[in-house]
Amino acid sequence: MLATTPLRKKRRIDFPILLINLIFTLVSIFVFIVPFLLVISISLTSDEAMYHNGYQLIPSVIDWTAYKYVFSNTSQLIASYITTAVQSFGGTALSVTIMSLCAYSLSRPHFKLKKPITMYIFFTMIFSGGLIPSYIINTQYLKLGNSIWIYLLPGLVVPLYVIVIRTFFSELPIALSESAKIDGANEFTIFSRIVLPLSKPVLATVSLLLLLDRWNNWYTSMIYIRNPNLYTLQYLLQKILMESQMIKSMIDNLPPGMSVSTADIQMPVEGLRYAMCVVAAGPMVLIFPFFQKYFSRGLTIGAVKG
């Protein structure tokens, strides 16, 4: 008698649930995309048209005055973009490298100083010296003030991210490193050829969080930088906005006989604020899709067959 295999049942498609998921996805897309499109639209709208028509998703007349004002000093803007790129990408790469090396050492079961170093890292998460001691150390002792190194070296290691990466490394199958040691691999080979390729999700997540934090950093420039060529993009845009608001305030407070409108001097105030949002957020919007695929799932599933 011939053995027969049971026929595989066809998977039933639940159309109501599928429809609900589709509607929820479309609503989510609408909720996230429309505000961004509205920001772009406002940045392309003149203040006069905005005062008369309000905020519009599609501008009636496209006005590039706000962007012309932002890009009026091209050399300064390019220098700020370069500084921000060095701070964001260079600082993130250096930070992730050092934190990964530290986390790998703490994840090894036979590392004798694992517990005291972990407690020391955890202690720095709760207590810090504060702004004034940090300023004195960075400027008087380390001589980092008014230099590009002030963006890279302070804050190079984030204790929380070290613990997160260490936890991910600890969950990797120990059989991988043991089999590599049998084949003659040293710790650096195991770290670079086995641990790092399997840790792309956590490294990509930490890298993106660090990149966003460094890209939006303006506080360091305000405290430590006096050279305009070393201003970050966020601090430069903030200065432009503050100057435009100050000019607008001076115009509004002029005596009645000396009244002058904002349009007479081509000073976009409201549109300038949104144009700066587009200029500052544009690169991060383009970079985010490259990190998104690593968020949902790890790559360690199926690494060791039972």
Domain that holds residue 148: 64-292
Q: Note whether residue 59 is domain-resident.
A: no
Give the pLDDT of residue 224: 92
Predicted local confidence at residue 303, as pLDDT: 41
pTM of the model: 0.75
What pLDDT score does 94 carry? 94
Q: What percent of the chain has pLDDT over 90?
A: 10
pLDDT exceeds 80 at position 158 = yes
pLDDT at 306: 39
For residue 259, tell me if it sits in a domain. yes
Q: In this model, does residue 214 exceed pLDDT 60? A: yes
| Confidence grade of residue 11 (pLDDT, cut at 50, 70, 90) | low
> Does 5 score more than 80 pLDDT?
no
Residue 261 lies in a domain: yes
**Average pLDDT score, the chain:** 80
CATH number at residue 146: 1.10.3720.10
265 part of a folded domain:
yes
Three-state SS annotation for the chain: CCCCCCCCCCCCCCHHHHHHHHHHHHHHHHHHHHHHHHHHHHHCCCHHHHHHHCCCCCCCCCCCHHHHHHCCCHHHHHHHHHHHHHHHHHHHHHHHHHHHHHHHHHHCCCCCCHHHHHHHHHHHHHCCCCHHHHHHHHHHHCCCCCCCHHHHCCCCCCHHHHHHHHHHHHCCCHHHHHHHHHCCCCHHHHHHHHHHHHCHHHHHHHHHHHHHHHHCCCHHHHHHCCCHHHCCHHHHHHHHHHHHHHHHHHHHCCCHHHCCCHHHHCCCCHHHHHHHHHHHHHHHHHHHHHHHCCCCCCCCCCCCCC
The lowest-confidence range among 54-63, 165-174, 227-236 is 54-63
Candidate from 25-34, 144-153, 161-170, 201-210 with smallest mean pLDDT:
25-34
The answer as to whether 27 is a domain residue is no
Indicate the range of 77-86, 166-175, 191-200, 263-272 predicted with least confidence: 263-272
Confidence class of residue 253 from pLDDT cuts 50, 70 and 90?
A: low
Q: What is the pLDDT of residue 65?
A: 80
Residue 94 lies in a domain: yes
Q: Is residue 110 part of a domain?
A: yes
**Residue 263: predicted pLDDT:** 45
Give residue 242's pLDDT band: very low, low, confident or very high (50, 70, 90): confident
Mean pLDDT of 89-104: 93
How large a percentage of the chain has pLDDT more than 70?
82
* Total count of domains within the chain: 1
The stretch 210-238 carries a mean pLDDT of 88
**The predicted structure's pLDDT at residue 99:** 93
Q: Residue 292: its pLDDT value, please?
A: 65
Please report whether residue 304 resides in a domain.
Answer: no
